[in-house]
Amino acid sequence: MKSIQGRKIVLAVTGGVAAYKAAELVRLLVKAGANVHVVLTEGGARFVTAVTFQALSGNPVWSDLWDARMANNMAHIDLSRDADAILIAPATADVIARLVHGLADDLLTTLCLARDCPLIVAPAMNRQMWEHPATRRNVALLHQDGVTVFGPDSGEQACGEVGMGRMLEPEALLAQLETFFGSGRMRGRKVVMTAGPTFEAIDPVRGITNTSSGKMGYALARACVVAGAEVVLVSGPVALPLPDGVRRVEVQSALQMREAVFEALPGADVFIGVAAVADYRPADQAEHKIKKSGESMTLTLVPNPDILAEVAGLPNPPFCVGFAAESRDLDKYAEGKRQGKRLRLVVGNLVQHGLGGDDNQVVLYDDHGRHPLAPASKVELAARIVDHIASLMLPPSQITQNG
């Protein structure tokens, strides 16, 4: 099961302006394959109507403790019984206070008290309310009770003030939920990665680059976070949004990429080289734009350092993973690269399958042999590759046949 797909999530919407964002959250959750059941409090219904949530979730919306639609008339019990989590978003200061005191005077609080699934709250309130000693106390108590708190964020607030208390954006809440449901198999691991192309300048306005989209690297970075890892992504120029939870260091050239990698490397357990690093760079970079002369010109190129081979060649290297995009003889070249660069794992693909697109077909090469993965989206493949890395990092006695 993917981290969100097939999950039953009870989304409770309480009375804050951020309730309008809950509608988008329902849409994102449903798109990710979740079965969403909305509980709308009286306050929440003042901001967004039940009709919106019912239309977006495709399920009835629940508001009343005495609602007779549930066969046994016990929505407060049945709603949570097969749920994977209750997420309260937005969670007002009031509902947080009532939760920590175990009140049960409406459907939501009764449901939370009677639940047998995890409870997550995404606070949303004015900055003064968030910083009030009563709220600080209540949030500390929530943590003590094992409740997970997503956010809040700081920034502009609906009241015009600026500070801590904004609810996380729906995309960020979805990302946090993915991590929450993720395998946790990379928890406590630090992963340093490269992704995207490099850009090797010729003069201030021109350079040599390649068509790497960065999609596979970015999907892997996110998959590592979902599996619980801390991720530093050293990225060449790409047009992709930064995945939630990933620390990105933006670079242009291979030399900058190498420097950023070695800066991030201390303490890393895993290094994944996904970047399509340019093999050569111009020997000299012109200070000013080169003018055309009508004559032919010669560009002298010098080799770039092989970042992955250098990291793998360190005396005490992290677990090193490389990528091999080949146009033929995949087995021969990918396995050759693995042994040549002394890598623990190589992800190989034929370029005609993956470049620039959203899907790919890859084969994993490790000490145990070759493992072809079924064709899938880069996002799905990323999750499988991370799972494979996590398996290979287990002590030898725990490694299964499948790696």
CB of 139 to ligand C5P, least distance (A): 43
Exactly one of 26, 99, 111, 277 binds ligand C5P (CB under 6 A); that residue is 277
Joined together, the tokens standing for residue 375 give 């064709």
Query: How many other β-carbons are positioned within 10 Å of the β-carbon of residue 217?
Result: 28
Residues binding ligand C5P: what is the number (CB under 6 A)? 14
Identify the helix (H) or strand (E) that includes residue 267: none
Q: Which residues between 353 and 392 bind ligand C5P (CB under 6 A)?
A: none
Decide: 358 and 213 in contact? Cβ < 8 Å.
Answer: no
CB of 320 to ligand C5P, least distance (A): 9
* 322 touching ligand C5P, by CB under 6 A: yes
Lateral strand order in the sheet of 8-13: 35-40, 8-13, 85-91, 119-123, 148-149
Distance CA 31, CA 3 (A): 13
Q: Which residues between 49 and 78 bind ligand C5P (CB under 6 A)?
A: none
In the complex with ligand C5P, which residue's Cβ is closer, 189 or 341?
Answer: 341
Q: DSSP strand E in 127-185: where? A: 148-149, 153-156, 162-166
Decide: 349 and 330 in contact? Cβ < 8 Å.
Answer: yes
x/- mask, ligand C5P, residues 244-273, rule CB under 6 A, reads: ----------x------------------x
CB of 220 to ligand C5P, least distance (A): 11
In the complex with ligand C5P, which residue's Cβ is closer, 290 or 302?
Answer: 302
In the complex with ligand C5P, which residue's Cβ is closer, 20 or 262?
Answer: 262
* 275 touching ligand C5P, by CB under 6 A: yes
Lateral strand order in the sheet of 246-250: 246-250, 230-235, 190-195, 270-273, 319-326, 345-350, 362-366, 369-372
* 345 touching ligand C5P, by CB under 6 A: no
* 324 touching ligand C5P, by CB under 6 A: yes
3-class DSSP state of 93:
helix
In the complex with ligand C5P, which residue's Cβ is closer, 56 or 276?
Answer: 276
Which phi and psi angles does 114 have, rounded to 5°? -95, 5
Q: Which stretch binds ligand C5P (CB under 6 A): 58-66, 121-129, 300-308, 376-384?
A: 300-308
The answer to whether 112 is a known catalytic residue is no
In the complex with ligand C5P, which residue's Cβ is closer, 175 or 334?
Answer: 334
Distance CA 214, CA 90 (A): 34
Q: Which residues between 121 and 180 bind ligand C5P (CB under 6 A)?
A: none
Joined together, the tokens standing for residue 306 give 């092989």
Q: DSSP characters for 327-393? A: SS-HHHHHHHHHHHTT-SEEEEEEHHHHTTSSEE-EEEEETTEEEEPPPEEHHHHHHHHHHHHHHHT
Q: Which stretch binds ligand C5P (CB under 6 A): 44-52, 154-162, 181-189, 304-312?
A: 304-312
Residue among 117, 159, 224, 320 flagged as catalytic = 159
CB of 350 to ligand C5P, least distance (A): 13
Q: How many residues does the chain have?
A: 403
Exactly one of 3, 63, 304, 349 binds ligand C5P (CB under 6 A); that residue is 304
Decide: 124 and 16 in contact? Cβ < 8 Å.
Answer: yes
* 274 touching ligand C5P, by CB under 6 A: yes
Decide: 70 and 37 in contact? Cβ < 8 Å.
Answer: no
* 89 touching ligand C5P, by CB under 6 A: no
In the complex with ligand C5P, which residue's Cβ is closer, 204 or 305?
Answer: 305
* 323 touching ligand C5P, by CB under 6 A: yes
Decide: 345 and 338 in contact? Cβ < 8 Å.
Answer: yes
β-pairing, 8-13 vs 35-40, is: parallel
Q: Which residues are catalytic?
A: 159
Please give the residue ranges that form the binding site for ligand C5P (CB under 6 A). Answer: 194, 254, 273-275, 277, 304, 306-308, 322-324, 337
